[in-house]
Amino acid sequence: MKIRLSRERVRGDFVKKVEMISGQDLLQCYQCGKCSAGCPAAFEMDILPSHVIRLAQMGQEEELAQANSYWICFSCQTCTVRCPRGVDIAKIMEALRLVTLRQKNRNKVEATGLPPELLAELPQIAIVSSLRKLSG
Amino acid sequence: MSREMETKALIVGGGVAGIQAALDIADGGYQVILVERTPSIGGHMVQLSEVFPTLDCPQCILTPKMVMCGQHPNIDIKAYCEIESVTGEVGNFTVKIRHKATYVDWDACTGCGQCEQKCPTKAPSEFNRELAFGPRKAIYSPFAQAVPNKRVIDADHCLKLTKDKCGVCAKVCPTQAIRYDMEDWIEEVKVGAIIVATGYELYKKENLTEYASDPDVIDGLEFERILCPSGPTAGVIKRPSDGKEPLDIVFVQCAGSRDPDKHFPYCSRVCCMYCCKMAMLYKHAVPDGQAYIFYIDVRTDGKMYEEFYQRGVEEDRIVYLRGKVSKIFRQGEKIVVFGMDTLTGKRVEVEADLVVLAMAMIPNPAGEKVKKILNLKTDEFGFITESHAKLHPVETGIDGIFVAGTAQAPKDIPETVAQAGGAASKVLSLFSGYERNKACA
Amino acid sequence: MKIPYYPGCTLKTKAKDFEDSAIAAARVLGIEMEELPRWNCCGTVYSLSSDDLIHQLAPIRNLIRAKEQESDRLVTLCSMCYNTLKRANEFFLADEEKRERIKRYLDDEIPYEGDVRVVQLLELLRDEVSMDAIKEAVKKPLTGLKVAPYYGCMLLRPASIGIDDVERPTVMEDVLRALGADVIDDPYKTECCGAYQTVSQKDVVATCAHSILTSAQGNGAEVIALSCPLCDFNLDNRQKEVQERFNGFHPMPVLYFTQLMAIAFGLDPSVCRFELSYNDPVPLLKSKGLIE
């Protein structure tokens, strides 16, 4: 698949939205890959964190919309504390979740969909944090 | 200028920059005082195994220059000395030099080394980067080809000086050169110009806390000593923890460099080339071994550098991996490296035997005092600021004070030598211009 | 020393073992943890978005509760509460414009300027109690018990919030060593357990837990000590899933560091509420002669 670039894409609303919600400058990332190298959730991601940022730098909204990466992200902030460029990658992941969750009916986890035996087993912080992260 | 000028130069720092500048000024017919903090001139270059891109050994190419310095009628090497104060101005600087107590009368010492052989006390060798392999004695010369070839006593470890025991060096010295009661003394000299060549140090690897503090995670200079045929392992490649030959070896570039968030924003400029060189030399010594180099960019911006890098890949089968290493830790016998290959977009894990961190180059902390004494302007990292980045690259902001080598910014040997020659030529034109004007008058 | 204590939701239910053992062990060291009279959920996770002020309100309200107790600090046990409360306060302090906007939402509260410091029990032990005082309180040293401390994420990251060095923390090691334990330094002690993905991605969490547990076991650990009820669930309860997915995995007990304190201080083991553990730690502790 070819990436088609234009001014409208590279400086488009999607890039602005991600930068605004995260408070991060996407172009600060120089693609060293350290975030991906240390990510404990990366084994389950279809697009690694550094490539998520790369695609975001280029305004690739549609491809990112298909990615599971930011839904798998643990918000553990290992990436954030090791980034040599001071990019808070965890905040970018949160912004990508919110871009979706702020639209209607886009929840990844529904409180009503959790089976009672799971709810009985889980500690409260698990349920609350999962819903905070994965539903709008 | 109507005042008399001292047509004598002071050079602070006896590494390759200081050595080159001293020789150029001395060959031009002027006197040079070369002050070196350690017992011998040579600097970091003489610690290196072989140097890129030609793979000469510094012992072959630098020691002749060191010897020339030692024998040159116009060069006065003041080793184991530090500058204490500087007053005056261009043409007329008064410099106080502290001669640190060596506990050996260097006029009497012939450099025979019997004292060192008989000394019962071992201490970590600064020259061998304090590796477990290569301790020195409490009375020592840092390395075999030291210039001057004299001994010093390390007062922190010597049994005589710490506990009033032993005294064997005094007993065996054939010229009765040992002086346990020696104290520092101050000498005052007058010079017309000063070159600062205080060099670099490596950023301490303990600062990168995501990389394990482990005997088998070492910095570039430590590995240079292990690779060096005349080094503490006689060029046999061993890892520090257990002396085993490492078969998988990982190099990590930009360790502290290009990391504005936590360390240094600048590129240290020599790591790309020396990692390639060390991986090559490793492969020559351990043909079964495999070297991996994690990099962000490979920067080969010198003559024959790109060709050298390609040779490393093609002939020595170095596997280059584009990505910064996130974590290094020990798991049993192995050092596990969590890295990344951004070219395939895959994470990489290597179970290595030895890891070499290409630590950022920083200004030599021992040069801090010199910069303070001379009132030199530096950047926020401590590198000396030249008076114009393009047109006055060897002048400092102060007339008559020049800079050469890595005290100014990270650079490699050819550039250091060229800059040292540049600084020397500034001193020469200052002195000869003065003499010509005087003759005309 | 009396200090207001914020339990958070899980400490009152699933992690009663953490709360009871902590309060009892702290009391031995002269710390009275006094539960805030009127606390609310902290939100469990700090909001990482810059435009979302509403989620900062819950943690800030809890800090105001501490201020009402005329205290300038608040102690927590749960790592997630600690992180959320402390980080929300940092956010509140850092940005004047946002602070004023948050304050407008809090109009019925007493004035608050970010002046309550959030601390975690481990910090109190290190900075105010001292390891020597812990050593003195030990009646049954944990001799021969091989414990791997596990910090997870929320005690350490980001660096400005962390209670210790972000990559090489030692505070839990120091406490356990003071208790006489044989401390195992494990490189996975700061790797994430999978956190909230335990709700919808059991497999992912089982993989993370497997890496962490087998690394600790490989380095000789018999038990893991930690400080977060979510880590505890993922490393203890999820061993069921780990066993189903990874052949040859041997289960191991997981404890809160405060349970080990209570044992070492010679307290009645009932304060440890071992019945709440998924993998029963009692046989191991008995085999070491630490409980009857």
Q: B-chain residues within 8 Å CB-CB of A36? A: 323, 340, 342, 347
Give the residue range(s) of CATH 1.10.1060.10 domains in chain A: 7-103
Instruction: Specify the pTM.
Output: 0.96
**Is the pLDDT at A44 greater than 50, yes or no?**
yes
Instruction: Read off the pLDDT band of B1 (50, 70, 90).
Output: very low
Q: For residue A25, is pLDDT > 60?
A: yes
Inside any domain, residue C230: yes
Asked if residue C207 is part of any domain, the answer here is yes
> Residue C149 in contact with residue C183, Cβ under 8 Å?
yes
Last residue in a domain, options C121, C154, C171 = C121
Asked if residue C145 and residue C115 are part of one domain, the reply reads no
Q: Which of B62-71, C94-103, C261-270 is predicted least confidently?
A: C94-103
Say what percent of chain B tops pLDDT 90: 98
Which whole number is the average pLDDT over B69-92? 98
pLDDT for res B2: 55
Q: Could you give the number of structural domains in chain C?
A: 2
Q: What is the CATH number of the domain that holds C65?
A: 1.20.1050
Chain A contact present for B332, CB below 8 A: no
Residue C106's pLDDT band (boundaries 50, 70, 90)? confident
Q: In b/e form, how buried is each residue of B309-337, taking b as 16+ CB within 10 angstroms?
A: beebbeebebebbbbbbbbbbbeeeebbb
- In this complex, the residue of C166, C187, C218 whose CB is nearest that of residue B329 is C187
Per-residue pLDDT at C129: 97
Distance from CA of A2 to the nearest CA of C (A): 31
With contact defined as 3+ CB pairs under 8 Å, the chains touching C are: A, B
Asked whether C208 and C191 are in contact (CB, 8 A), the reply is yes
Q: What is the pLDDT of residues C26-85, one digit of tens each?
A: 999 999 999 999 999 999 999 999 998 999 999 999 999 999 999 999 999 999 999 999
- In chain C, which residue's Cα lies nearest the Cα of A19? C50
Q: Given pLDDT bands bounded at 50, 70 and 90, which one contains residue B3?
A: confident
Please give the radius of gyration of chain B, using alpha carbons only, rounded to the nearest integer.
23
* Residue in A closest to C83 by C-alpha: A76
CA–CA distance, B360 with B208 (Å, rounded to integer): 11
Architecture of domain A7-103: Orthogonal Bundle (1.10)
Domain that includes residue C207, residue range: 140-287
pLDDT score for A87: 98
| Phi/psi of residue B346, nearest 5 degrees | -120, 145
ipTM entry: 0.96
**CATH number belonging to domain B8-100+184-199+364-440:** 3.50.50.60
B203-361: CATH number:
3.50.50.60
Residue B296 in this model has a pLDDT that exceeds 90: yes
**Domain-embedded: residue C177:** yes
Residues C147 and C102 in one domain: no
Average pLDDT on A69-90 reads 98
Binned at pLDDT 50, 70 and 90, residue A136 comes out as confident
Q: Is residue B295 pLDDT above 70, yes or no?
A: yes
CATH code, domain with C247: 3.40.50.11810
Helix, strand or coil for residue B149? Answer: coil
* B134 pLDDT above the threshold of 90: no
Asked whether residue C153 falls in the same domain as residue C97, the answer is: no
Give the pLDDT confidence score for residue A1 in this predicted structure.
76
Distance from CA of B343 to the nearest CA of A (A): 10
Cβ–Cβ < 8 Å for C182, C147: yes
pLDDT digits (tens, 9 = 90+) for B14-43: 999 999 999 999 999 999 999 999 999 999
- What residues contact B238, with CB distance under 8 A and at least 6 apart? B133, B226, B244, B245, B246
Chain C residue numbers touching A125 (CB-CB < 8 A): 8-10, 44, 78, 80, 196, 229-230
Q: Please state the rounded mean pLDDT for residues A5-11.
A: 93
CB-nearest to C218 from B327, B329, B331 is B331
Residue B32 pLDDT: 98
Give me the phi and psi of B200, to 5 degrees please. Answer: -125, 175
Least confidently predicted of B8-22, B208-222, C96-110: C96-110
Query: Is the pLDDT reported for residue B279 higher than 70?
Result: yes
Where residue B435 falls among pLDDT bands split at 50, 70, 90? very high
Q: Which residue shows structure tokens 């009672």? A: A116
| DSSP secondary structure letter of residue B335 | E
